[in-house]
């Protein structure tokens, strides 16, 4: 493994984890972010039980596409299976962000898709479906996540009573999508406090 490339990728994962934490996209040790190293089958992910804000070179593990640790010490996040599955499924994917961001998760708690009330959100996301409940870390959850991303070209998915999953070509894009999903969920919730969200003419608007 190219040590220099590994260090650069770890720095990127640390930077994006801290950014996501400061944006309030997850709390405590919840959620996990993974990065696929360019041109390789190596995935970086934080060790289980460590918070995004505490991401350090020492608690980031390198795993293969089966989730087996190939560098670093510790146990990878319990969701590593579907993170790796998503990299196998989506060839161009360079990063996966799994957050527990509260407004988007509120939609997931009631089993509703995020209402894409702004033109920007619709353009970026098209649709953010929700899958049913399965315990975190379970094979069943893995099947639900991979099944949903295999079924249609979505960029974001809600997990009932749990959180959000986004996929991007790199950490910047995956985090950008996670931010848009959360802010759109907030807009939709606030808009409903004021009245019924308006629908304007937009090609393909649902």
Chain residues binding Zn ion by CB under 5 A are 163
Active site residue 79: yes
Structure tokens at 135: 């315990």
- Whichever of 9 and 158 has its CB closer to Zn ion, that residue is 158
DSSP state of 45: E
- Whichever of 76 and 163 has its CB closer to Zn ion, that residue is 163
Structure tokens at 199: 């629908």
Closest CB 67 distance from Zn ion, rounded Å? 16
Closest CB 137 distance from Zn ion, rounded Å? 8
Closest CB 17 distance from Zn ion, rounded Å? 14
The residues facing 45 across adjacent strands are: 34, 61
Closest CB 30 distance from Zn ion, rounded Å? 6
- Whichever of 57 and 139 has its CB closer to Zn ion, that residue is 139
Using CA atoms, how far residue 152 sits from 58, 130, 147, 197, in Å, is 37, 13, 9, 26
Instruction: Check if the beta carbon of residue 116 is closer than 8 Å to that of residue 184.
Output: yes
- Whichever of 59 and 160 has its CB closer to Zn ion, that residue is 160
In terms of Cα–Cα distance, which of 103, 110, 94, 108 is closest to 38?
A: 94
Alpha helices in the chain (DSSP H): 3-22, 80-89, 102-109, 119-125, 139-151, 171-194
Active-site hit among 57, 73, 79, 173: 79
Q: How far apart are CA 204 and CA 206, in angstroms?
A: 6
Closest CB 170 distance from Zn ion, rounded Å? 22
- Whichever of 6 and 83 has its CB closer to Zn ion, that residue is 83
In sequence order, what DSSP letters do the residues of 60-101 get, joined into one string?
EEEE-TT--EEESSS-B-TTHHHHHHHHHH-TT--EEEEE--
Q: Catalytic amino acids?
A: 79
């Amino acid at each position: 493994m190219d040590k220099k490339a590994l260090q650069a990728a770890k720095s990127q994962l640390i930077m994006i984890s801290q950014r996501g934490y400061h944006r309030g996209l997850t709390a405590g040790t919840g959620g996990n972010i993974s990065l696929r190293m360019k041109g390789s089958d190596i995935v970086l992910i934080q060790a289980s039980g460590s918070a995004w804000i505490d991401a350090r070179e020492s608690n980031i593990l390198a795993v293969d596409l089966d989730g087996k640790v190939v560098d670093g010490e510790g146990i990878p996040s319990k969701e590593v299976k579907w993170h790796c599955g998503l990299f196998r499924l989506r060839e161009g994917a360079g990063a996966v962000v799994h957050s527990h961001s509260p407004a988007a998760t509120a939609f997931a708690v009631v089993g509703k898709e995020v209402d894409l009330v702004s033109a920007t959100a619709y353009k970026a996301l098209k649709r953010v479906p929700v899958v049913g409940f399965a315990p975190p870390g379970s094979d069943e959850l893995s099947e639900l996540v991979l099944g949903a991303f295999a079924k249609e070209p979505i960029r974001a998915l809600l997990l009932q009573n749990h959180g959000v999953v986004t996929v991007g070509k790199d950490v910047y894009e995956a985090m950008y999508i996670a931010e848009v999903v959360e802010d759109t969920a907030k807009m939709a919730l606030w808009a409903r406090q004021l009245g019924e969200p308006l629908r304007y003419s937009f090609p393909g608007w649902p």
